[in-house]
Amino acid sequence: MNSRRDFLQKVSLGIGVTALAGLPATAAAPSVPLVRAEKQLRVAIMGLGGYANIVADAMQKCTMATLVGVVSGTPSKIDTWKKKYNIPDKNTYNYETVSELKNNPDIDIVYVTTPNSLHHKHVLQIAATGKHVICEKPVADNAKQTREMIAACEKAGVKFYIGYRLHFEPHTRELIRMRESGELGKIMHVNNYMGFKSGDPTQWRLKKALAGGGAMMDVGVYALNGARYCTGEEPIWVTAQETKTDPIKFKEVDETITFQLGFPSGVIANCGTTYNFNNFERLYVIGEKGFVELSPAFGYGPIKGRTNAGPMNMPPHVPHQTLQMDGLADIILNNKPDPHITGQEGLKDMIVVDAVYESIRKGGQKIFINKA
């Protein structure tokens, strides 16, 4: 844990990477020119929308991961990306030709950034080509689909990661370190919120067939995933309540959900998510010896934090996706297993998401999960 944290801090500061990974200093620090490592993770992105653009731009600062290909249903985007990122024709695919990736030795991994409900189909397609896969959150519509995705990747012998960028983010790493080292003492309570006011009423995020669900699927997973890394435990029961103040806009998907997670130690995490108001982003974990509060906690940052000892003084902000993609490259290229970003991590979240929706359907009933 410490060496990982040190690595991230050194990456952020642009120092010491040579010593750690046999690499030159990274361009993550603005004043240090980018020198790419000899070994590169060669990445293609599938679904060239808003988030794909953020990942692609952040990857320009990576030292160990390079954007080399695209999969897109929009020819004009392929043209733009080819020029912008110097992508060769032979590394461009559409959704009909994607199976041909199997004949391309110049792509190692495909990052799936399509709408939520397409993740299942697209991950299965990529796994069948023999390429490793990164899939955006929420991993799928439900736990059943997630299990199928994990099984397909295992069968194909490829790695399967979820785009949990915060697992590479320094404040988040620090809170996990504080909890694991015992600095916070026994964890007593967690209070996590993540939501925002959604805009365009015609967007796919408000259509169940493409989004799988509403705020819970999109950003509630941050509060939930955060509750799991705040406690280091898996919930054993869930209760949840939904309110809908705009039943027209949110006809197909959930608008505002509060949910409670009960953990084996007795800790309860009180969590919430919304698509209908802003300023709803905070992580707060309280132990017997101290606390950590991150606010903002889950967005692109800069993340800000304080503990019982005062403000958290972390390294200067680096785009989370730069840290994530270099971190993943380090894991894959140097065979370093990280259980916290694999398909199994996504499955643990989806089991809870299923229980949240089940509890709502059953009028807030307590749903027991992860029984021994």
| Span of 67-75, 170-178, 283-291, 336-344 interacting with ligand NDP by CB under 6 A | 67-75
Read off the tokens for 122.
């697209």
Site for ligand NDP in 207-236 (CB under 6 A): 210, 218
Kindly determine how many residues on this chain lie close enough to bind ligand NDP according to the rule CB under 6 A.
22
Other Cβ atoms closer than 10 A to 309: 11
The residue within the footprint of ligand NDP, chosen from 16, 51, 189, 304 (CB under 6 A), is: 51
β-partners of residue 69 are: 44
Q: Does 302 sit near ligand NDP (CB under 6 A)? A: no
What angle do the packed helices 75-85 and 50-59 form, to 10 degrees?
A: 10
Of 136 and 349, nearer to ligand NDP (C-beta) is 136
Q: Does 137 sit near ligand NDP (CB under 6 A)? A: yes
Of 163 and 220, nearer to ligand NDP (C-beta) is 163
The amino acid occupying position 315 is: P
Omega prior to 138 cis, within 30 of 0: yes
Could you tell me the smallest distance in angstroms from the CB atom of residue 94 to ligand NDP?
8
The residue within the footprint of ligand NDP, chosen from 204, 270, 296, 308 (CB under 6 A), is: 204
What is the distance, to the nearest Å, from the Cα of residue 255 to the centroid of all Cα atoms in its chain?
21
Could you tell me the smallest distance in angstroms from the CB atom of residue 54 to ligand NDP?
7
Separation CA 265–CA 179 (nearest Å) = 14
Of 193 and 291, nearer to ligand NDP (C-beta) is 193
Of 58 and 351, nearer to ligand NDP (C-beta) is 58
What is the distance, to the nearest Å, from the Cα of residue 37 to the centroid of all Cα atoms in its chain?
25
The residue within the footprint of ligand NDP, chosen from 7, 42, 44, 47 (CB under 6 A), is: 47
Could you tell me the smallest distance in angstroms from the CB atom of residue 127 to ligand NDP?
18
What distances in angstroms separate CA 168 from CA 7, 190, 193, one per listed residue?
Answer: 10, 21, 20
> Which has the closest alpha carbon to 297: 216, 224, 226, 217?
226
What distances in angstroms separate CA 289 from CA 232, 238, 306, one per listed residue?
Answer: 17, 27, 14
Of 204 and 370, nearer to ligand NDP (C-beta) is 204
Of 47 and 327, nearer to ligand NDP (C-beta) is 47
Q: Are 6 and 47 in contact (CB under 8 A)?
A: no
The residue within the footprint of ligand NDP, chosen from 73, 88, 182, 264 (CB under 6 A), is: 73
Could you tell me the smallest distance in angstroms from the CB atom of residue 253 to ligand NDP?
13
The residue within the footprint of ligand NDP, chosen from 37, 41, 59, 136 (CB under 6 A), is: 136
Separation CA 366–CA 262 (nearest Å) = 10
Task: Output DSSP code: residue 329.
Answer: H
**Half-sphere exposure of 100 toward its Cβ, with a 13 Å CA cutoff?**
11
Cβ-based burial of 370 (10 A; exposed 0-12, middle 13-18, buried ≥19): middle
Q: Does 345 sit near ligand NDP (CB under 6 A)? A: no
Read off the tokens for 12.
């952020």
β-partners of residue 257 are: 242, 273
The residue within the footprint of ligand NDP, chosen from 165, 167, 171, 348 (CB under 6 A), is: 165
* Nearest position to ligand NDP, beta carbon: 49
Q: Does 118 sit near ligand NDP (CB under 6 A)? A: yes
Q: Does 163 sit near ligand NDP (CB under 6 A)? A: yes
| Span of 107-115, 270-278, 282-290, 305-313 interacting with ligand NDP by CB under 6 A | 107-115
Of 299 and 315, nearer to ligand NDP (C-beta) is 299
Q: Are 327 and 336 in contact (CB under 8 A)?
A: no
Q: Does 74 sit near ligand NDP (CB under 6 A)? A: yes
Of 160 and 263, nearer to ligand NDP (C-beta) is 160
Separation CA 5–CA 24 (nearest Å) = 18
Q: Are 137 and 352 in contact (CB under 8 A)?
A: no
Under the rule (CB under 6 A), what is the footprint of ligand NDP? 47-52, 72-74, 77, 113-116, 118, 136-137, 163, 165, 204, 210, 218
